[in-house]
Amino acid sequence: MTTAFADPKSLSHEELEEGTVFAPRFDAHGLITVVTIEEGTKDVLMVAHMNAETLALTLDTGIAHYWSRSRKAIWKKGETSGELQEVVELRTDCDQDCLVMTVRQTGRGAACHTGRKSCFYRSVETENGIAWLEDTGLPRLFDPKDVYGR
Amino acid sequence: MTTAFADPKSLSHEELEEGTVFAPRFDAHGLITVVTIEEGTKDVLMVAHMNAETLALTLDTGIAHYWSRSRKAIWKKGETSGELQEVVELRTDCDQDCLVMTVRQTGRGAACHTGRKSCFYRSVETENGIAWLEDTGLPRLFDPKDVYGR
């Protein structure tokens, strides 16, 4: 059975923020932002988007499914790389326009297409109005060329 | 001196993902998504947006400044409530269209306007195609009526 969601327009402000009705507020493109964190370490692995269909797929299968904005297609995370994400917990925020999903990262433990555990492998440094990036040293757990052929 | 950012269009795909040039990819509205996490616990406190001006303000002052999409104005987090956020670390993701900011939450430790530490105080539960929310029990650290007068 496909999980359905309530229409946020049917809720009062109080119900939206304090109630028990799940009414995800998809944006003008039908998408909601999802922050995916790793069980245990709580490291932020990636930030991506879901539409109503892939949110339902995620809830119904327990495996993360996103919406690929670049490919305009359902994106079952890890379908190509084997790095599936098993859903441990899903939370919504006060105004229900964002989700935080805790997952068990399978495979080699790499959520990022670059082969690293997390997409957030560079820090922003600044000095005297100049900003640059520094590698935080996250190792590559796979070679993207081997996995994606490019 | 106001920190300036490189134009992502000036970078190759390889430079964008593996390089040291910080070239935040603001969206069509001039905004970038920011996931704010707490130093130490790594709890996700909130998800918000910055434009180039508030990202520079954040880097230059060390205090989180967002862009309020509802008020269409600079949003110095905690200006009303006293719950300022001191920036500890800022990271960008592989394609530089998202940021993770680690902060020291000051004041009573409440990042959410509801008075709770985090905006993510409800979990999504499902059974037989029905989804609902459950309160995870985050206490209110202030009464919004006292702080915002509503």
For residue B1, pLDDT beyond 90: no
pLDDT at B149: 79
The model's pLDDT over B37-55, given as tens digits with 9 standing for 90+, comes to 999 999 999 999 999 999 9
Cα angle value A22/A99/A40 (rounded, 5°): 120
* CA torsion angle A124 A126 A131 A132 (round to 10): -50
Q: How many CB atoms lie within 10 A of CB A144?
A: 17
Residue A20 has pLDDT above 80, yes or no: yes
pTM score, two decimals?
Answer: 0.97
Helices (H) and strands (E) in chain A, counts: 3, 8
B70 has a chain A CB within 8 A of its CB = no
Q: What pLDDT score does A81 carry? A: 87
- CA angle B102–A76–A89, rounded 5-degree value: 50
Cβ B89–A123 below 8 Å, yes or no? yes
Residues 33-62, chain A, touching B (beta carbon < 8 A): 33, 35, 37, 41-44, 46-47, 59-60
pLDDT at A148: 82
Indicate if the pLDDT at residue A19 is higher than 80: yes
Q: How far is the CA of B35 from the CAs of A6, A140, B38, B89, in angstroms?
A: 26, 23, 10, 12
Q: Kindly report the nearest CA distance between residue A74 and chain B, in angstroms.
A: 20
Tokens of B66: 């967002």
Q: What are phi and psi of A10, to 5 degrees?
A: -80, -5
Q: Cα-flanking dihedrals φ and ψ of residue A145, to 5°?
A: -60, -40
Q: What pLDDT is recorded for position B80?
A: 86
Q: Is the pLDDT of residue A72 over 90?
A: yes
Residue A123 pLDDT more than 80?
A: yes
Q: What is the distance of C-alpha A45 from the center of its chain?
A: 8
pLDDT in tens, B110-142: 999 999 999 999 999 999 999 999 999 999 999
Residues of B numbered 71-130 whose beta carbons fall under 8 angstroms of chain A's beta carbons: which are they? 89-94, 98-100, 112-114, 119-124, 126, 128-130
pLDDT of residue B150: 62
- Determine the average pLDDT of the residues in A39-62: 98
Q: Give B60-104 pLDDT, tens digit per residue.
A: 999 999 999 999 999 999 998 889 999 999 999 999 999 999 999
CB contact under 8 A, A128 and B1: yes
Q: Which amino acid is at A141?
A: L
Contact between chains at B44 and A37 (C-beta distance less than 8 A): yes
The CATH number of A8-113, from 1.20.1250.20, 3.20.20.70, 3.10.20.810, 3.30.70.360, is 3.10.20.810
Closest A-chain CA to B62: A126
